[in-house]
């Protein structure tokens, strides 16, 4: 069903009932504005998949109406799909200076930087299309230069918060503009879209400064080298590591590609202050006494190829974690990464390091960038929206956020818990959710975008659990008889060498199946293949309780 007339429509192509892959869309009349273009990483059931990006078929079909991609901030779940998006849609991209820096790194990697129209905005920028006018407001989050967005439409005002928390003592002057938020709310908000990541957590998010105090203490206590692993894009935290290093008179080395790249962007664009002569190359680390060196490294999520993982196993060339060194994990593990992170912690302890890990107040080395329940209620209270759509989160987070909204006065029935693709249409100030646009996951696997589907994933799953057995039958075309014994080749199932008896029995089953089919006069190749799959599969399951994929191949001579 297509939209008709000049109404206001809002929907997500990613980010609902999931964490990551954020993409929200505002339509009014002939204008479509897209907010964010993130990716997410596959869980362990999506075998072999590298990335998941939003399915943007709907936007491609309506490309003449798509006026802009506006990016709230530079995290992967908000910018990670931009290269794939731009290869399909030629649309200008609006973002702040720091966010653009990270987008440019990405476009350079994909070799499409030159043909892209990138437009820098600030918190006080205004973008004016025919019908939709766009303003911004500053929010605080765990990366610099984050914006919330205000859409002024003939139907009313929509606010999209981006990711945010309220940190009243932020690092590097990354203040939330609460005065502007109050003003927007006072003018009247028809619809609020607000992020839900921490809607399950009571209280107010602790300030980033808490981490700074703990970092300083750890640096002062440390005897040998100090390694700190964190997200490179968390420039406030990087700044606090710099301060702790200054305080304890240590040089600072950066290791890991994204640490070097992103810190480079932050320094160059003025978001990070590092004294001259403080930065040293990783090759110089061993030129200084250990108590004079700090090292910022990637890999806080346990990524096997990143610096911290390689350091923990002694496989980082030229840099060693030694007995007496301190290693600080200044980032919380993203759900699903816990095991990889704890393995690294184990290995670092085994090297004799003093490892400071674990999030929360216990170690104080990490605070979330996403608002807790009181932060979310404060945003809702500023905006006083008539309608509310909780965004960014799995169902239980959206659900809790709805409860929070009602607790601060949003009317029952005025909150929409949507799925990706569900459209809220607003006309004459009344919102209704009745229709859908196409939305979905697109899998990226190597160079392939969208070519791996459920059938291939189902095959990979079977192959991964029980392997496979290829059965080659060489048969005469004329008589439809076996010319020689069947050949069997297995991978991931059993060592055929060690299972000669089993394979002999498999051959017996095959011959038996063939003679049965011959008696029933069913010697078509398709029937033969089906019968062999069935009889060999059942036989192997009865003998091994495993279900390898059986692949019969018939060679006609």
For residues 250, 251, 254, 255, the Cα torsion angle rounded to the nearest 10 degrees is: -80
Of the candidates 223, 284, 381, 464, which one interacts with a copy of itself according to CB under 8 A? 464
Of the candidates 154, 270, 314, 336, which one interacts with a copy of itself according to CB under 8 A? 336
State yes or no: residue 487 binds a copy of itself (CB under 8 A): yes
Determine if residue 441 is labeled as part of a ligand binding site: no
On whether the CB atoms of residues 235 and 145 are closer than 8 A, the answer is: no
Alpha carbons 399 and 390: distance in angstroms, whole number: 8
- Residue 272's Cβ-side half-sphere holds a number of Cα atoms within 13 Å equal to 27
Determine if residue 141 is labeled as part of a ligand binding site: yes
What's the min distance (Å) between Cβ of 235 and a copy of itself? 29
User: Which of 102, 73, 78 lies closest to 19 in space, CA to CA?
Assistant: 78
Judged by CB under 8 A, the stretch of 84-92, 123-131, 347-355, 375-383 that binds a copy of itself is 347-355
Angle between helices 373-383 and 178-187 (to 10 degrees): 50
State yes or no: residue 363 binds a copy of itself (CB under 8 A): no
User: Which of 192, 187, 186 lies closest to 416 in space, CA to CA?
Assistant: 192
State yes or no: residue 544 binds a copy of itself (CB under 8 A): yes
State yes or no: residue 545 binds a copy of itself (CB under 8 A): yes
Judged by CB under 8 A, the stretch of 142-150, 217-225, 355-363, 366-374 that binds a copy of itself is 355-363
Alpha carbons 229 and 343: distance in angstroms, whole number: 15
State yes or no: residue 338 binds a copy of itself (CB under 8 A): yes
DSSP single-letter state for residue 170: -
State yes or no: residue 407 binds a copy of itself (CB under 8 A): no
* Of 160, 214, 370, 401, catalytic: 370
Q: Which two tokens stand for residue 95?
A: 């973002």
545 phi/psi in degrees, rounded to 5: 55, 30
State yes or no: residue 463 binds a copy of itself (CB under 8 A): yes
Judged by CB under 8 A, the stretch of 206-214, 384-392, 395-403, 520-528 that binds a copy of itself is 395-403
For residues 398, 38, 70, 240, the Cα torsion angle rounded to the nearest 10 degrees is: 90
Judged by CB under 8 A, the stretch of 60-68, 258-266, 380-388, 439-447 that binds a copy of itself is 439-447
State yes or no: residue 178 binds a copy of itself (CB under 8 A): no
Determine if residue 368 is labeled as part of a ligand binding site: yes
Beta bridge partners of 253: 280, 295
3-class SS at 171?
helix
- Residue 332's Cβ-side half-sphere holds a number of Cα atoms within 13 Å equal to 14
State yes or no: residue 461 binds a copy of itself (CB under 8 A): yes
What's the min distance (Å) between Cβ of 447 and a copy of itself? 4
* Of 18, 155, 195, 208, catalytic: 195
User: Which of 15, 332, 298, 301 lies closest to 142 in space, CA to CA?
Assistant: 332
Of the candidates 17, 133, 251, 441, which one interacts with a copy of itself according to CB under 8 A? 17
Distance of CA 100 to the CA centre of its chain: 19
Q: What angle do CA 513, 518, 519 make, to 5 degrees?
A: 100
Cα end-to-end distance, the chain, whole Å: 55
User: Which of 142, 207, 216 lies closest to 169 in space, CA to CA?
Assistant: 207
User: Which of 123, 122, 34 lies closest to 79 in space, CA to CA?
Assistant: 34
State yes or no: residue 346 binds a copy of itself (CB under 8 A): yes
Judged by CB under 8 A, the stretch of 97-105, 222-230, 336-344, 511-519 that binds a copy of itself is 336-344
State yes or no: residue 200 binds a copy of itself (CB under 8 A): yes
What's the min distance (Å) between Cβ of 439 and a copy of itself? 18
On whether the CB atoms of residues 488 and 506 are closer than 8 A, the answer is: yes
Q: Is 370 a catalytic residue?
A: yes
On whether the CB atoms of residues 151 and 26 are closer than 8 A, the answer is: yes
What's the min distance (Å) between Cβ of 11 and a copy of itself? 19
Determine if residue 466 is labeled as part of a ligand binding site: no
State yes or no: residue 109 binds a copy of itself (CB under 8 A): no
Alpha carbons 125 and 145: distance in angstroms, whole number: 13
Task: Pick between residue 206 and residue 467 the one whose CB is nearest to a copy of itself.
Answer: 467
Q: Is 195 a catalytic residue?
A: yes
Contact mark string toward a copy of itself, 467..486, x via CB under 8 A: xx-x-x-x--------x---
Ramachandran sector of residue 251 (left: φ over 0; alpha: ψ -120 to 50; beta: rest): beta
Where is the binding site for substrate, in residues? 232-234, 366-370
Q: Which residues fall in the annotated binding site?
A: 48, 50, 73, 75, 77-78, 141, 163, 232-234, 366-370, 392, 445
Catalytically annotated residues? 195, 370
Positions that interact with a copy of itself (CB under 8 A): 17, 43-44, 47-48, 200, 202, 335-336, 338-339, 342, 345-347, 349-350, 355, 358, 362, 394-396, 399, 445-448, 451, 455-457, 459-461, 463-468, 470, 472, 474, 483, 487, 489, 491-495, 498, 543-546, 549, 551, 553, 555, 557
- Residues comprising the binding site for Zn(2+)? 73, 75, 77-78, 141, 163, 392
């Amino acid at each position: 069903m297509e939209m008709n007339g000049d109404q206001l429509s809002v929907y997500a192509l990613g980010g609902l009932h999931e964490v990551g892959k954020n993409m929200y869309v505002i339509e009014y009349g002939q204008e479509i504005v897209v907010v964010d273009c993130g990716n997410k990483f596959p869980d362990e059931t999506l075998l072999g998949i590298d990335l998941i990006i939003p399915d943007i078929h709907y936007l491609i079909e309506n490309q003449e109406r798509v006026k802009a991609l506006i990016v709230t901030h530079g995290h992967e779940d908000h910018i990670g799909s931009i290269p794939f998006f731009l290869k399909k849609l030629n649309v200008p991209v609006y973002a702040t200076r720091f966010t653009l820096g990270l987008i440019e790194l990405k476009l350079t990697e994909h070799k499409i930087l030159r043909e892209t129209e990138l437009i820098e905005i600030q918190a006080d920028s205004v973008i004016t299309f025919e019908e939709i006018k766009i303003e911004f407001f500053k929010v605080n989050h765990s990366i610099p230069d984050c914006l919330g967005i205000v859409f002024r439409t003939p139907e009313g005002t929509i606010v999209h918060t981006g990711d945010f928390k309220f940190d009243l003592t932020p690092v590097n002057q990354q203040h939330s503009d609460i005065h502007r938020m109050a003003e927007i709310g006072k003018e009247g908000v028809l619809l609020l879209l607000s992020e839900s990541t921490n809607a399950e957590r009571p209280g107010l998010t602790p300030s980033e400064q808490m981490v700074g105090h703990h970092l300083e203490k750890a640096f002062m206590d440390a005897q040998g080298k100090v390694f700190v692993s964190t997200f490179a894009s968390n420039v406030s935290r990087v700044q606090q590591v710099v301060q702790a290093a200054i305080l304890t008179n240590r040089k600072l080395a950066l290791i890991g590609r994204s640490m070097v790249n992103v810190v480079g962007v932050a320094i160059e664009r003025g978001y990070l202050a590092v004294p001259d002569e403080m930065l040293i190359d990783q090759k110089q680390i061993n030129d200084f006494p250990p108590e004079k060196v700090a090292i910022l490294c990637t890999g806080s999520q346990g990524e096997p190829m990143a610096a911290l993982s390689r350091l923990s196993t002694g496989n980082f060339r030229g840099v060693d974690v030694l007995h007496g060194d301190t290693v600080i994990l200044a980032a919380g593990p993203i759900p699903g990464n816990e095991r990889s992170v704890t393995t690294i912690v184990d290995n670092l302890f085994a090297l004799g390091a003093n490892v400071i890990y674990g999030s929360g107040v216990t170690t104080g080395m990490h605070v979330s960038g996403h608002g807790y329940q009181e932060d979310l209620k404060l945003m809702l209270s500023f905006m006083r929206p008539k309608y509310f759509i909780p965004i960014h989160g799995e169902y239980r987070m959206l659900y809790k956020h709805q409860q929070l909204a009602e607790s601060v006065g949003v009317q029952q029935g005025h909150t929409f818990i949507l799925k990706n693709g569900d459209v809220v249409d607003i006309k004459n100030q009344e919102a209704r959710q009745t229709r859908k646009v196409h939305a979905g996951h697109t899998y990226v696997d190597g160079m392939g975008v969208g070519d791996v589907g459920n059938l291939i994933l189902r095959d990979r799953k079977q192959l991964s659990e029980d392997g496979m057995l290829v059965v080659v039958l060489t048969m005469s075309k004329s008589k439809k008889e076996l010319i020689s014994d069947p050949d069997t080749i297995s991978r991931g199932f059993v060592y055929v060498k060690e299972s000669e008896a089993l394979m002999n029995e498999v051959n017996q089953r095959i011959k038996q199946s063939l003679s049965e089919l011959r008696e029933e006069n069913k010697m078509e190749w398709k029937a033969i293949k089906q019968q062999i799959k069935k009889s060999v599969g059942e036989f192997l399951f009865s003998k091994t309780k495993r279900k390898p994929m059986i692949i019969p191949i018939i060679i006609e001579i």
